[in-house]
Structure 1
Amino acid sequence: MKKIILLVLLVSVSAFAQKKQKSKPLPFSTKNKTVTVYTSADSTNLRLSITDNLKFQELKQPLESQICIFVNPDKTFQTFVGIGGAITDASAEVFAKLSPEKQQEFLNAYFSKENGIGYTLLRTNMNSCDFSSDSYTYIQDGDKDLKTFDIQHDKQFKLPLIKKAMAMIGSKASFYISPWSPPAFMKDNNNMLFGGKLLPEYHQAWANYYVKYINALQKEGIPVWGLTIQNEPMAKQIWESCIFSAEDERDFLKNYLGPTLQKAGLGDKKITVWDHNRDLLLHRANTILEDSEASKYVWGIGFHWYESWSGGEQMYENVGKVNELYPSKKLMFTEGCVEKFDANKYQLWKNGQRYGKSMINDFNNGTVAWTDWNILLDQNGGPNHVKNFCFAPIHGDTNRGELIYTPSYFFIGHFSKFIDKGAKRVSSSASRSQLLTTSFINNDGKVVTVVMNQSNLKIKYNLCIGTSATEVTILPNAIQTLVY
């Protein structure tokens, strides 16, 4: 009997040891790996162009005089969700004016991995926003019981484009909704524009509104992955806006929105709080996430990049600080665009550089998903019912029937085309401040390293993994993606 027990124990220990051994991944190796280099560069025709195929060689100790990018694929961090943009009313209206051929070109440009940049993340506006041709809601004025709720408005332009995009993305799609304002009668200023606050007597009705909209979209065959509670809740804008203090948002979430979604069977939807600039990010995170009853409903914290309106720099470090404080919550960039449209600046390279710098810093600070603003605007930077005209990565000139690709499109593509959903960010750093870098390892074992040259000089650098390296040349003001 003792022999049998001993044998069983030995077999169990052996099986556990084998299982433990199997679960440990093998260290990344550069052996027989080729580095494919894709480049986009200012004052050249290079746009996501293959510019090199390189091999690794031994480099045990870099010198101080050698510029290096150090990557350690065995040190992993957050899991990547996706990159994408917003299908607003404006985007959908411009799309509808394009010829069928240009529509297909546009869809391929964004949503095909092979022929485009492989967007998988989509956002849309619940009720109107500034990038709508007019202000609208889905109910008749005063209908607090939502008996007249109908998304017929969206069926003309927005839903057809969303459906086409979702069909191309397939199972990797993550689609979320954001409101800019409740209906006017629910607010203390009786106006969808100019800020105002949600009246206490309409808290439940407004929570029910999200449920109605999500269910209506899903009835149309559009699965909703998540939602933000309020776009830019501290901004009193001349367009659709609504003010929620940190306490307001916390209490609305824990007492109304969270329980209402749960009761409706929508508790799996990813709820993102804040959805505003990086400057007040920590205050909002602390206020909501330190309340356990509110925090339990929160998937993540969303942020924008417009804090530089004050004349200061981008507050990238605030993203990292929230990540340190609340590592179980996700960080998602929910909106950014280049403001003040000017058709003479379609090809202004620094507009693209703004994307590259932000994306690298945001990912390095723990961000899991990154959402651009409008995916398409017209030759006027609209339509926009309050004349807040902006840039998009692609513009549709509806007079000429042409698509205009801006540098921003290619900068975003250096990330979205190559980093797959489920990838893990890995350790990546530069030895000189002229170069910015971030790296991910895809589930197929391939590493994607993005390098951005902020200088006006051509630079030679070594891509170093352990004691292996390959020398790469990057042009002035260029961005590169290295896949190996």
Structure 2
Amino acid sequence: MKATISALILLVTFSAFSQQKSKMQSKPFTVNGKSVMVYTSADSTNLRITNTDNLKFSVLKQPVETQTCIFVDPNKTFQTFLGIGGAITDASAEVFAKLSQENQQEFLNAYFSKDKGIGYSLIRTNIHSCDFSSDMYTYVNEGDADLKTFSIKHDQKFKIPLIKKATETAGGKLTLFASPWSPPAFMKDTKNMLKGGKLLPEFYQSWANYYVKFINAYQKEGIPVWGLTVQNEPMAVQTWESCIYTAEEERDFLKNYLGPTLSKAGLGDKKITVWDHNRDLMTQRASTILDDPQANKYVWGIGFHWYESWSGGEPMFENVGAVNEMYPNKNLLFTEGCNEKFDANKYQLWKNGERYGKSMIHDFNNGTVGWTDWNILLDEKGGPNHVGNFCFAPIHADTKTGELIYTPSYYFIGHFSKFIGKEAQRISSVSSRSQLITTSFLNQDGKVITVVMNQTNKKVTYNLCIGTNATEVTILPHAIQTLVY
């Protein structure tokens, strides 16, 4: 009898393994009969995600050193793609409300339609006020620790209507996550929402309950909340809404209050992202929180921003890869980035767009699953912003003329978001020359999306190589291309 059971287990195990292996090998990628559609945006031209070529593959068994190549291997797969998007802040929603109905629809299509625009699928929003709000506000009356006065009435005027319209334009579904900039002033040791300060221990439970109230209120409005971050930029004392958590404090608030409170409220499926700050300190924050089993179980991923270059250094892309190596079972999410110090004379500054392209390629290659820009829309002053911290957005609206102004950043983001589909898998994509950087994804429909960026002042001709096949592509100076095949 034991022998029969053992044989049966072995047979079932072998069958399952064979089915898995068969599934993995059922559809090997091939370039046979495929063409390469090339879409280009380039500096000093009118090319903006423009179809510039339709190419065919031919045999190239062995490239030589004098040839520049992009090597793509669809059989080497990595993280699964979550989405690309931006933040619907109070500022974005207030500017949107000032547009004509025609320009509102153009704007919605520009971001949230795959056909007419660049197909955003990921949205971040603020839990009560942040710097990009016209005023400072919370959802409760001052001193109401029991949250009896909790109301999202403020958001129902501008922000919630825009989220609903964006969702409708995107086909009925967006992945939305929310972030707080500061607890209410009475919960903090400084009694001030601005300029840092810390959450007082006696309000840990009340603040955890606040997240539950927010999620339930939004979902009652018909807006599903996919997840949240514990705190925006928890190590930055800002002139605007901010709150400091050391790594240990964030860990303990998460494991003892926020995580259990969400679970008890039936919201244990909400994805919790920790850190939500720059790449510089992210390994220390990740290890402090994730090495604690009780905190770890509540963490979906580690969020990060790109502002570590404030110190004069270069972006620390390798830190993202280090966290990915340290905790391969956790997700990496870019939660915020923008070009700072608004100047209307620099609307079309190409290097602002290149900053996006470079960051997105490196972040994805280091294991990032989703990438979220900051404000999706700002006005002709880079606001509104109640503390004067004016910045760039991919699209600006001149509220005096009603004109929508598309910046290079919009098109650079679009080279990814328009073409990479949900649940796509990143695949191996390597450049043979430092002049070109690249990343690639395999979509669910079997198409490969390869993004190539030329960082130089010279036109470059390269071979897109898949196995022993290749096609020759030319990329203009300071251009970004998406190749679909």
**What range is the shorter-chain TM-score in?**
over 0.9
Q: Give the Å deviation of 1:168.
A: 2.1
Q: Which residue of 2 aligns with 1:205?
A: 206
- Deviation string, structure 1 residues 314-364 (Cα, Å, up to 9, x no partner): 000000000000000000000000000000000000000000000000000
What's 2:468 paired with? 467
- 1:410-425 paired onto structure 2 within 5 Å: 410-425=411-426
In 2: Cα distance, 1:142 partner to 1:453 partner? 55
The superposition leaves residues 227-251 of structure 1 with CA deviations (integer Å, 9 ceiling, x where unpaired) of 0000000000000000000000000
- Cα distance in 2, alignment partners of residues 12 and 324 from structure 1: 34
Give the ranges of 4+ consecutive aligned residues of structure 1 lying more than 3 Å apart after TM superposition.
7-18
Does the CA contact (< 8 Å) of 1:83 and 1:119 recur in 2? yes
Is 1:438 equivalent to 2:439 in the alignment? Answer: yes
Unaligned runs of 5+ in 2: none
What does 1:76-475 align with in structure 2 at a 5 Å threshold?
76-170=77-171, 172-475=173-476
- 1:413 is matched by which residue type in structure 2? G
Q: CA deviation at 1:15?
A: 5.9
Q: Distance in 1 between matches of 2:381 and 2:246?
A: 34
The whole-number CA distance in structure 2 between the counterparts of 1:104 and 1:17 is 51
Equivalent position of 1:44 in the other structure = 45
Rounded to whole Å, the distance in 2 between the matches of 1:165 and 1:409 is 17
Q: Return the letter of the residue paired with 1:32.
A: G
* Counterpart Cα distance in 2 of 1:91 and 1:12: 56
1:23 paired residue number: 23
Q: 1:295 to 1:60 in 2, by over 3 A?
A: same
- Partners of 2:123 and 2:381 in 1: how far apart? 23
User: What displacement does 1:27 show?
Assistant: 2.0
Q: Is the 8 A contact 1:39 1:480 kept in 2?
A: yes
Map Cα deviations across residues 350-405 of structure 1 (whole Å, 9 max, x no partner). 00000000000000000000000000000000000000000000001110011000
* Deviation (angstroms), 1:19: 2.7
**TM superposition shift of 1:18:** 6.1
Contact 1:172–1:421 (8 Å) recurs in 2: no
> What amino acid sits opposite 2:161 in the alignment?
P
Helix, strand or coil: the match of 1:452? strand
State how far apart, in whole Å, the 1-side matches of 2:150 and 2:62 are.
67
Unaligned stretches of 5+ residues in structure 1: none
What is the root-mean-square deviation of aligned Cα atoms in Å? 1.8
d(CA) in 2 for partners of 1:239, 1:412 = 27
> For 1:39-68, what per-residue CA distance to the aligned partner results, in whole angstroms no more than 9, with x for missing partners?
000000000000000000000000100000
Query: For 1:24, what is the secondary structure of its paired residue?
Result: helix
Q: Distance in 1 between matches of 2:322 and 2:12?
A: 44
Q: Structure 2 vs 1, CA of residues 57 and 285 (structure 1 numbering), >3 Å: closer, same or farther?
A: same
What is residue 66 of structure 1 aligned with on the other side? Answer: 67
Change (3 A) 1:325 1:8: closer
SS at match of 2:470: strand
Q: Structure 1 CA distance, aligned partners of 2:365 and 2:48?
A: 24
Q: Provide Cα deviations, 1:235-284, integer angstroms capped at 9, x if missing partner.
A: 00000000000000000000000000000000000000000000000000
Shift of 1:24: 2.2
2:170 alignment partner, SS class: helix
- 1:166 Cα deviation after fit: 1.5
Does the residue aligned with 2:177 lie in a helix, a strand or coil?
strand
C-alpha change, 1:11 and 1:273, in structure 2 (3 Å) is closer
Q: How far is the alpha carbon of 1:169 from its aligned partner?
A: 2.1
Aligned-partner SS, 2:369: strand
CA pair 328-241 structure 1, distance change in 2 beyond 3 A: same
- Number of residues paired by the alignment? 482
What is the CA-CA distance between 1:409 and the residue it aligns to?
Answer: 0.0
- Report the CA distance between 1:22 and its aligned residue: 3.2
Structure-1 separation of matches of 2:274 and 2:268: 15
- For 1:402 and 1:139, the matched residues in 2 are separated by 37
Shift in Å, 1:167: 1.8
